[in-house]
Amino acid sequence: MDKKYQVFISSTFKDLFDERKKVLDLLLMADCIPSGMEAFVATDEEQFNVIKKVIDLCDYYILIIGGRYGSINEATDRSYTEMEYDYAISKGVPVLVFSIDDSVELDPSKKETDAIKNGKLAEFKSRAMRNRLASLWKDSSDLVGKVAISIMRAKQEINRPGWQRGGEYDQNELLKQIIELKKQNDILQKQVSEYSINSIAEVDSELPFYGFKIKLHYTEIHYVFTSNTVTHEKDIETTLDELYKFISLRLTGRHEAQDFIDAVSAFVDGYYVDRQQALVVKNQYTQLGLIKSFVDKKGTEMIELTEKGIDTMNSLNALK
């Protein structure tokens, strides 16, 4: 099935207007759905919240850095462009960075004159160019060529959900997935039903929770496609209750099962957790009666906190 991928284009506005337009045209030719800054220019917190929602829907994020740092948010002391970049990283959206080569002589109107902003720009550029699919560009043609190569490789090497026209799906495959999820749901519902209100105390005494140590393996979120890529991994030791205190706040309401794994990944900023280990933890919380699973009308496995899970969350996060 053919998919179209939504791509967010982030940059300062006036100085990179022409470059951004050429990148937008390229993305359209590459069968992508560009989300351009033309429609989403952040000038205050309210508009930035709108931008965050757009980034949430995007499959890839392109950052173009020129000679200007941009407008600064007084609350964060960072530019809105840098805030967008940090938000995309926090949400695990693959980031493609393209920064102007320092050897290029820019027109004075396209350079910062403020020393503080210049310092912030240099720091932001240095940070963005590390551990990401990052390239330097010298002119708009060079930029467009490198964006074309990077977005093609990103689509091939980083699996993203993308968008497809309604009705373009394999009904037989979808039916198989629904049946399999229903089987899993039946098993989980049976497990949950075995723990009545009267037996919860007994379950708590038999299954470890408070103070029970677990070790989780994390890998750094990394999107560099070069031969000298270095991947950082580390093991984190925590407890079931400490982890639940953190992730439960991110799982209020109804969520897709994948959101549980994303919440466990967020426990270590900038890293993602081993999927199998996260599923083991999810099973433990299910047996403890803290979360429950079900399949929605679309055949998607969903999870939500039980009443006990909500009470436990409130107890763990209460100010003491």
| Separation in Å, CA 126 to CA 5, 75, 254, 262 | 28, 23, 39, 27
- Please report which residue ranges of the chain form alpha helices under DSSP H: 17-29, 45-56, 80-90, 115-128, 140-157, 171-193, 200-206, 240-247, 257-266, 275-287, 307-317
* Phi-psi sector, 162: left (phi>0), alpha (psi -120 to 50), beta: left
Give the span between the Cα atoms of 67 and 16, in whole angstroms. Answer: 9
Per-residue tens of pLDDT for the chain, all 320 residues: 578 899 999 999 889 999 999 999 999 998 899 986 565 555 667 788 888 889 999 999 999 999 999 989 888 999 999 999 999 999 999 999 999 999 999 999 999 989 999 999 999 999 999 866 889 999 999 999 999 999 998 888 888 988 876 655 566 666 777 777 777 777 777 766 655 444 444 444 456 788 889 999 988 865 555 545 556 788 999 999 999 999 999 999 999 888 999 999 999 988 888 888 899 899 899 989 999 988 888 778 899 999 999 999 999 988 76
CATH class of 171-317: mainly alpha
Instruction: Answer whether 0.75 is exceeded by the pTM.
Output: no
Residue 179: its pLDDT value, please? 77
User: Is domain 5-157 classified as CATH 3.30.365.10?
Assistant: no
Q: Residue ranges of the domains in the chain? A: 5-157, 171-317
Assign 200 to helix, strand or coil.
Answer: helix
Residue 178: its pLDDT value, please? 75
